[in-house]
Chain A
Amino acid sequence: MATPTHVIRVPRPEPGAFNPHRPLKKNALLLHQVRHFKKIERRLPKHQKTGIPLGAIRTEAQAAEYLRKMMAVLHPQTAAAGRSEPLP
């Protein structure tokens, strides 16, 4: 099969776009996602709880770390592998 000849250039975001310290309260979607995980966590046995109180999750980075810990419990099939490579 031939390769495409119409190649479109896609720019990358400007340096500085990465903002893991963005306040969680600025993203209603992520805030609710964390709350959903908290509801699930309440049903977990004590040894599987993260010990992270909801009030301690204030930034995207903290939310991501909390989700990572919860996924290690809920979806151990893939949680251990994580993701090591950024997109091309």
Chain B
Amino acid sequence: MPAGLDNLKHIVVLMMENRSFDHMLGGLKALDSRINGLTGAETNPDTNGEPAPVLPNAAFQSQLDPDPDHHFAAVDKQIFDGASSRVPSMQGFVKSYWDQRRDVTHSRKIMYYFAPDSLPVLTSLARSFAVFNGWFSSIPGPTICNRAFAHYGTSFGSVTMDPFVVRPPYLSVYDRLLNGGRTTKLYYFDPASSTMEVVNLLSRQPAVFGTFDQFLEDCGRGTLPDYSFIEPNYTDHEAEDGAELLASDQHPDHNVQQGEIFIASVYSAIQQNPNLWTSTALLIVYDEHGGIYDHVPPPACTPDGCAAPASATGTGAPFQFDRLGVRVPAILVSPWIARATVVAGPEDPVNGRAFEHASIPATVTEHFLGAFENRSPREKAAPTFLSLLGDTLRPMSDIPAFHID
């Protein structure tokens, strides 16, 4: 077993909101050709038939208004552009966004991406640790069903934002760990932001939850559980002392820079405790693409054993959970990972792997519990990511730190 894996005591997952890989990291291809980002030549046709190019003009706020549609039917249009052949072309993003405001000029903004120096935290971590060329949302749809895959390895047939019904034999990763004598916590930002797991987890298992303040304290005291899942702040709201707390989830139209600060705060809390730093792997990942352009067609995948009816998909056809959703940013941080690791995705037909959110419970379960039978077909087929940890501990002089201006 590699020394990095042998030393691994904690896995931390930070799941952000609604940004595609190309939107956040696509510009890195110009700095490292191994990263499957943008060449600058990618386009989508607008509703006048004119090509709308990708441009490094993404703004931190007030640009993607209205919130780009990312419900199942809209994402289907973004991926397939209405083609009867059902070949995923990624040519329907501009037309899909036009549907909401019927403004051709505005619809072309869905192709915008951030220049790498606009996102110093995310791009620095991507270039210093491991960035995944092929991490996909689990469903071509919205938040709740996608986050379900991170917690349960399945959405139990849901492709919507509605609460889903947990059905045996599948347990949440938290239940598995607790039943196995391990420790786990789901940290939400604060009570006024709360959690997206209210219906199935919070209402039945409040002991699993903590706040972000508690996460910071647990990092400082060295009392972090085996597995931690962190939720950002979902709302602009005032603290009890009147301080302004900006949403940090990066969901349009929330400020992207505040999300950068939040990512840096999670990273720094781990990195500043030497014992924690050498024994923790931090995965930063986004739940889904939020309707924003990405150029990589989502691959087919192992069916989930569930089916969503046409009434739920809104496309006129049922969905068999046999294709992944749009690609999202994913970065694995650990001092045991070689600098500038790029994890191959579908662009490499020989060595590439398609990770998805079911990879999270698959990895956590494998590492802390070992073999575990009662998991969904999708989770059993999902690749795990701890093989990226090697034998060499990088010195702190080779590790980035962040200073908030």
Known: A40-B198, A82-B239, A83-B213. A7 touches B401 (CB 8 A): yes
- B26-34, B230-238, B358-366, B372-380 - the one binding chain A: B230-238
Expressed in whole angstroms, the Cα–Cα distance for A22 and B271 within the complex equals 35
A4 adjacent to B193 (CB under 8 Å): no
A64 touches B193 (CB 8 A): yes
Which A residues between 1 and 37 are near B, CB-CB below 8 angstroms? 1-14, 17-20, 22, 26-30, 32-33, 36-37
Could you mark each residue 45-68 of chain A with 1 if its beta carbon is under 8 Å from any beta carbon of chain B, else 0? 000000000000000110111011
A23 shortest CB reach to chain B, Å: 10
Select B253's contact among A8, A12, A26, A82, beta carbons within 8 Å.
Answer: A26
Pick the residue among A17, A36, A72 that contacts B258 (CB under 8 A): A17
Contact A7 B161 (CB under 8 A): no
Contact A77 B206 (CB under 8 A): yes
Closest chain A residue, CB of each to CB of B65 = A26
Residue in B65, B212, B246, B401 whose beta carbon sits within 8 Å of that of A83 in the complex: B212
Q: Is the CB of B245 within 8 A of A83?
A: yes
Q: Which of B75-83, B175-183, B259-267, B312-320 contacts A (4 or more CB under 8 A)?
A: B259-267
Contact of A88 among B192, B212, B265, B401 (CB under 8 A): B265
Which residues of chain B are within 8 angstroms of A37 by Cβ–Cβ distance? 194, 198
- Judge if B56 is at the interface, Cβ distance under 8 Å: no
Beta-carbon contacts of B212-247 to A below 8 Å, as 1s and 0s?
A: 111000000000000000000011111111011111
The answer to whether B399 and A10 have CB atoms under 8 Å apart is no
Nearest B residue to A72 via CB reads B191
In the complex the two chains form, what is the Cα distance from A12 to B244 in whole Å?
Answer: 13
Cβ of B67 under 8 Å from chain A: yes
Residue among A6, A10, A19, A61 having the largest count of chain B Cβ atoms under 10 Å: A10
Nearest CB in chain B: distance from A42 CB, A = 12
B153 to A: closest C-beta gap in Å: 21
Q: How many residues of B contact A (CB 8 A)?
A: 75
How far does the Cβ of A55 sit from chain B's closest Cβ, in whole Å?
19
Q: Which residue in chain A gives the minimum CB-CB distance to B194?
A: A67
Given A3-B396, A75-B206, CB of A8 within 8 Å of CB of B120: yes
CA distance A22 to B161 in the complex (A): 21
- Give Cα distance in the complex from A36 to B163, angstroms: 7
**When each residue 162-201 of chain B gets 1 if its CB lies under 8 Å from chain A and 0 otherwise, what string results?**
1100000000000000000000000001111110101100
B279 within 8 A of A: no
Q: Using an 8 Å CB-CB cutoff, how does the interface string of B320-359 with A read, 1 for contact, 0 for none?
A: 0000000000000000000000000000000000000000
Interchain CB contact under 8 A, B193 and A11: no
- Classify the interface of chain A: helix, strand, loop or mixed: mixed
Is B395 close to A, CB under 8 A?
yes
Q: How far is the CA of A31 from the CA of B331 in the complex (A)?
A: 29
* CB-based contact B245/A28 at 8 Å: no
A77 to B213, CA, bound (A): 13
B236 touching A33, Cβ below 8 Å: no
- Residue B143, interface by CB 8 Å: yes
Encode contact with A along B379-405: 1 for CB under 8 Å, 0 otherwise.
000000000000000011111111111
CB–CB B236/A61 < 8 A: yes
Neighbour of B404 across the interface among A3, A10, A79, CB < 8 A: A10
B124 at the interface (CB under 8 A from A): yes
How far is A31 from B246 in the complex, measured between Cα atoms in Å?
Answer: 17
Contact A13 to B237, CB < 8 A, known contacts A39-B163, A64-B193: no
Contact across chains for A83 and B214 when beta carbons are under 8 A apart: no
Q: How many Å lie between the Cα of A5 and that of B60 in the bound state?
A: 28
Which residues of B are interface residues toward A (Cβ below 8 A)? 17-18, 60-61, 65-67, 71, 120-121, 124, 142-144, 161-163, 189-194, 196, 198-199, 202-203, 206-207, 209-214, 234-241, 243-249, 251, 253, 255, 257-258, 260-262, 264-265, 271, 274, 277, 395-405
A-B contacts, 25 listed (Cβ < 8 Å):
A1-B396, A2-B396, A6-B401, A7-B401, A8-B124, A10-B402, A12-B261, A13-B257, A17-B60, A17-B61, A17-B255, A22-B236, A26-B66, A26-B253, A29-B234, A32-B143, A33-B196, A33-B198, A37-B194, A63-B235, A64-B193, A75-B206, A78-B214, A83-B239, A88-B265
Q: A9-B402, A28-B71, A67-B193 are in contact. List 20 more A-B contacts (CB 8 A).
A: A1-B277, A4-B401, A7-B403, A10-B257, A10-B260, A13-B246, A17-B61, A17-B246, A18-B244, A20-B237, A26-B67, A29-B143, A32-B144, A36-B198, A37-B194, A60-B235, A61-B235, A64-B237, A83-B189, A85-B243
